[in-house]
Structure 1
């Protein structure tokens, strides 16, 4: 299967980790680590680094290659594999859906989310609607609660 437009890095990571504990995974992003650290951790990665942080990247690669983790939120390959293997399959959000949810979770209005993401408010509404559906939420408020882990839903 080829990686399509709808499959995010988190989706790929989760799929790999759910099937094996043999491969350490280091997530990399050009965006803010704050936006994607939770996604990377929940998806079974052993750490995340900024693409521009060459020194950090070298250290992170060495650390996870030797069985460690890069950052306090991350599990070893074995623990992440067991966690994901025993979780029911749930659709993950794409990078843009995650970004919209992260911004919405800060309390921003949708037009402000659109401004920050440099997209139209209509596109933000579409991203949020898709995220709500994937999260099984009936409202933005419920989706944010699920997304941020402030509910057991």
Structure 2
């Protein structure tokens, strides 16, 4: 059983699309880390983003499920980290850490742990809530995580730098795509082939380090907030 060495309360928040898993994690951590209190919970990345950026919701650590339904967990981390320079983020997953570790690190999390590894979960919650970061060994490679401040400063600069990498044609194609125009329509408007439009969109997605068209659209819609 894990025990708390720090007498101060840990205000825990969790975002997980499976409410049964969410409440199970909260109950387990409260039982094995007596000073943990569930401050708030969310089932979607959208709700987590709203709660995590509300100053009224005082939180010491947020557990982020990496496979949410409305947006990828690493995108939730990135969105929160770029607006909140205080809240430690711990990514959690039911899948292999290899699948998400690098994406969680790039998204500004302070570590990642398996939901099924209960001792590691206890240890990670204590460490990350206390301002520490984790290192994970996956596939023969060690992936380190930045502290909250370093991740924040990297990400608040990142969107502008990445957008500047795009050509004017790529930006134009992406702007039309974000307005729900189909590639064939964009091709006619830009006087190019549909294949060229696909190439433009693929380049934008790669340059922005995103993994899907849905994530690309969400990123593009939110860029004005940065």
TM-score tier, shorter chain, comes to 0.5 to 0.7
2:79 is aligned with 1:21: no
Q: Using CA pairs below 8 Å that are at least 6 residues apart, which structure has the higher relative contact order?
A: 1
- Compared CA separation, residues 59 and 83, structure 1 to 2 (3 A): same
Matched, 1:135 2:206: yes
Deviation per CA, 1:84-132: give whole Å up to 9, x if none. 01101669xxxxxxxxxxxxxxxxxxxxxxxxxxxxxxxxxxxxxx876
Q: How many residues align?
A: 99
Q: CA RMSD in A?
A: 2.6
The structure that is strand-richer by fraction is 2
**Counterpart in 2 of 1:33?**
97
What corresponds to 1:75 in structure 2? 146
Larger Rg: 2
Q: TM-score, normalised by structure 2?
A: 0.39
**Could you give the per-residue CA deviations for residues 57-100 of structure 1, whole angstroms, max 9, x where no partner exists?**
11001001111001151000000000001101669xxxxxxxxx
- Which residue in 2 is equivalent to 1:54? 118
In 2 relative to 1, CA 25–131 (structure 1 residues): closer, same or farther, beyond 3 Å? farther
Matches within 5 A, 1:54-133: 54-71=118-135, 72-88=143-159
Q: Which runs of 5+ in 1 are unaligned?
A: 92-129, 138-153
Q: State the distance in 2 between where 1:23 and 1:131 align.
A: 33
Seen in structure 2, the aligned counterparts of structure 1 residues 134 and 2 have a Cα distance that, compared at 3 Å, is farther
Structure 2 gap segments, 5+ residues each: 1-45, 49-67, 136-142, 164-200, 209-226
Report SS of the residue matched to 1:86: helix
Q: CA deviation at 1:50?
A: 0.4
TM-score (norm 1): 0.57
Q: Take 1:85 and 1:42, find their aligned partners in 2: how far apart are those partners? A: 13
Judged with a 3 Å threshold, the aligned counterparts in structure 2 of structure 1 residues 2 and 134 are, in CA distance, closer, same or farther, namely farther
The ranges of structure 1 where at least 4 consecutive aligned residues each deviate by more than 3 angstroms after the TM superposition are 1-6, 130-133
Pair 1:85–1:57, CA change in 2 (3 A):
same
